Amino acid sequence: MNLGGTATVWTLSIVLIAWLFDLVRRDRLYVGYGVIFVSAIIAGVVTIAVPSVLLAVGRWWAGVLPASGFLELVMLFVVVLLIYVFSQLTLFSSRVTQLIQELAIRDAAASRSGPPSPPR
Amino acid sequence: MPTIAHAVGTEARVLVAVPAYNEQATIAAVVEQIRTAVPEFDLLVVNDASSDDTAALLARLQVTTATHLANLGYGRAVQTAIKYAHRSRYDVLITLDADGQHDPADIRRVFDAFAAGRFDLMIGSRFVQSHDYGSEPRVRRFGMRLFSALLALLAGQRIYDTSSGLNVIHARVFEPLSRRPFVDFHAESLVYLIKAGYLVGECPVAVAPRRHGASMHTPINWVKYPLKVTFLIVLNVIEAHLFKRGEA
């Protein structure tokens, strides 16, 4: 891979990891999904960074499926789409969680037994 | 590093919260022991959609209960307690596991240490005195050593018990703890609090072996849990470097 290709891969990886961290930080992506995506991206970058590993993986991949540059772009698109889909799933899950917690808190406040605590 | 510790007055409103999932064997004894040990503190049980008789027992005990309609897991049950304490304007929240491993009589000792030291979070620690994890299974022992070392390395403070269920939490940290993603409020939340300048301490407590029910740490969790916690630790450290305290 030439210098331009290496720079592109590193830039894309850093952008993707930063995006993933930000999604997890804002509770927009479940941390378990974040672990999977970040691990996969790091594994991909390491594969590309080590020529011998890249060669071995390349040979194996060519045997399984002749990959073109276009196919790699399609795979990148699928990864981005997957992150987006999982982010939406997490968002939905977070809203259900908040709803369950809110109902529980209201239920507890309504059913609080015994004399009320003194005010602050 | 400056701390954001606040004093706890003698008139402080204190809530003891017990997250419970299928704890029918121990919940009644735990509730009664808490009522005896700290009668002046309010008590809340967060029933995380138990499928056994936990809910019926809680109703019979007439204890304030926040019932999840679906099982959300330990971390979310603790978060519900934090949100409830925050919403109800408690000054201090004490969390205690429902499995009966902690002695509720330790609550007052840990609370006194918390108040005397002006801490933001005081951990009822199983290991701070002995520094010995020998009583734990091998996998857990490794995890505890790993997270303790990670905290020392990344947050600059050695915490010997990063997964204790007995914690005393000041109202000052309710807000950040209730809105940020945490797994089980263990090492990942400790890193965040320490890096954000809050004062975290440990007070020695004794823990009995679990006699009933199952631990939340199943074999699959032995892999998932450390990965998720490590991810959040790294995230919190990065964020602490990027953002100034109070902005995060």
**Residues A53-104: tens digit of each pLDDT:** 888 887 887 777 666 667 777 888 888 899 999 989 999 999 999 999 999 9
Q: Which residue has the tokens 């995006």?
A: A19
B67 strand-pairing partners: B47
Q: Helix A31-49 crosses helix B219-242 at what angle (to 10 degrees)?
A: 80
Q: pLDDT at position B6, please?
A: 54
Residues 63-92 of B with CB under 8 A from A: 63-70, 72, 76, 79-80, 83-84, 87-89, 91
Average model confidence (pLDDT) across chain A: 83
Residues of A in contact with B224 (CB under 8 A): 32
d(CA B52, CA B102): 22
Token pair of A53 as six digits:
């590993």
Q: Residue B80 and residue A113: Cβ atoms within 8 Å?
A: no
Nearest in space to B92 (alpha carbons), one of B31, B42, B27: B42
- Which of helix, strand or coil describes residue B211? coil
DSSP strands (E only) in B62-180:
64-67, 92-95, 121-125, 167-170
Q: pLDDT at position B119, please?
A: 94
To the nearest whole Å, the CA of A61 is away from the closest chain B CA by 28
d(CA B93, CA A8): 49
d(CA B102, CA B165): 8
Q: How confident is the model at residue A116 (pLDDT cuts 50, 70, 90)?
A: very low
Element (H, E) at B93: strand B92-95
CA A29, A34, A40, A46 dihedral sign is positive
